[in-house]
Amino acid sequence: MKLSLIRTYSCNIFPIFHKPKTQSLSLCARSRRPICPSSLKPKTPLFLRPSNYSASLSDLKKWHDWAKTLSSSIGSSFVDSDNGPDSSLLFRELNWLIEDSLEDRSLIPQLGIQDNSTNVRLRVDIDDLYSLWKQRIEERKPFQYIVGCEHWRDLVLSVEEGVFIPRPETELLIDSVSDVVSNNEELRQGLWVDLGTGSGAIAIGIGRILGSRGRVIAIDLNPLAASVAAFNVQRHGLQDVIEVRQGSWFEPLKDIEIEEKLSGVISNPPYIPSDDIPGLQAEVRTHEPRLALDGGLDGMDDLLYLCNRTASLLKPGGFFAFETNGEKQCKFLVDYLENVAAGSFCNVKIVSDFAGIPRFVTGFHQ
């Protein structure tokens, strides 16, 4: 995952059929629904909230003009500071915020009309719109946390502060799983795990590929992330395929039968070297959970742990795919798997991301 929040944001309505994640093959006797491991209740994304508020178009235009002026004042200062958003991106985000806030988007063109007293229905109070945009600019709060969702692949996923925001390049992990199971029905029908699931993005992507033939368990140490992931699983109708469990890495899998080894282990773990975190975008270093970012001194702590444990839990021919910080970590990981863990894995390779940067290490258990 490249830790930039500058992205292309789709404004499509959240489809009813979008699905969540995580459940396992050993759950025949268990209730087939995502486990929400804590009492934490995820926040509802803005565009899914009822339109309980109203304001005149004139007042909405006043807010919009204020927000545009504030955004324009940024210029390229955030870019120059830490590769953050410039004014043009902030303008686009402002338009997306209006779209998510309005009950009737067809009224947006009327924002250009002066002194329009027409009342419109809103999903958020107009005073809160001022507060939200101040948070975006003055606190550098990620836009995804402002509106409560992220568009990822063809999904719209609930996210909130305290839960890692999925990045576009991580979508390639789903493509790698799709390629593997397209020619291997045994793996398709097996048990997969998404370690460090965050919003549940990877597990949901895998679950949609496996369909009813396989199972996914999504695991996260963060109780809020596990709750949000479970919400997303239910939202996307995948509760019969995916189960969400809270815990550290493989620990929540202790009840899995020893003979039922895993078909796949997929993870986008923390891999940023600790000393690099202060240099990240303010949106990332200040607001996203450090638990999902910090990979230790060289960023390899969790990656090496996952490699060592994966060797003992994958079935013969089982697939793994891990995201890394880039070429240096990829090469180190491949060398480790081929030498230190010699004999455990085969067909280990490096896969590049959309920008051509070496990003993923994949392979199979011997």
Q: Which tokens is 177 given?
A: 């799983």
Q: In angstroms, rounded to a whole number, what is the distance separating the alpha carbons of residues 212 and 255?
A: 22
Contacts of 363 (CB under 8 A, 6+ apart): 319, 320, 337, 345, 346, 347, 348, 349
Candidate list 222, 232, 268, 325, residue with the active-site label: 268
Residue type, 311: A
Candidate list 47, 78, 143, 164, residue with the active-site label: 164
CB 223 within 8 A of CB 38: yes
- Phi and psi (nearest 5°) for 195? -95, 125
Residue type, 309: R
Our CA dihedral for 163, 169, 170, 176, rounded to 10 degrees, sits at: 170
Respond yes or no: is residue 164 known to be catalytic. yes
Task: Give 351: exposed, middle or buried? Use CB within 10 Å, 0-12, 13-18, 19+.
Answer: middle
Candidate list 20, 42, 166, 269, residue with the active-site label: 269
Q: In angstroms, rounded to a whole number, what is the distance separating the alpha carbons of residues 224 and 218?
A: 13
Q: In angstroms, rounded to a whole number, what is the distance separating the alpha carbons of residues 238 and 233?
A: 5
Q: Which tokens is 45 given?
A: 């994304």
Compute CA distances 132 → 65, 68, 157, 158, 326, whole Å.
Answer: 15, 13, 20, 17, 34
Q: In angstroms, rounded to a whole number, what is the distance separating the alpha carbons of residues 286 and 141?
A: 8
Respond yes or no: is residue 250 known to be catalytic. no
Q: Which tokens is 317 given?
A: 């021919």
Contacts of 59 (CB under 8 A, 6+ apart): 126
Q: Which residues carry out catalysis? A: 164, 268-269
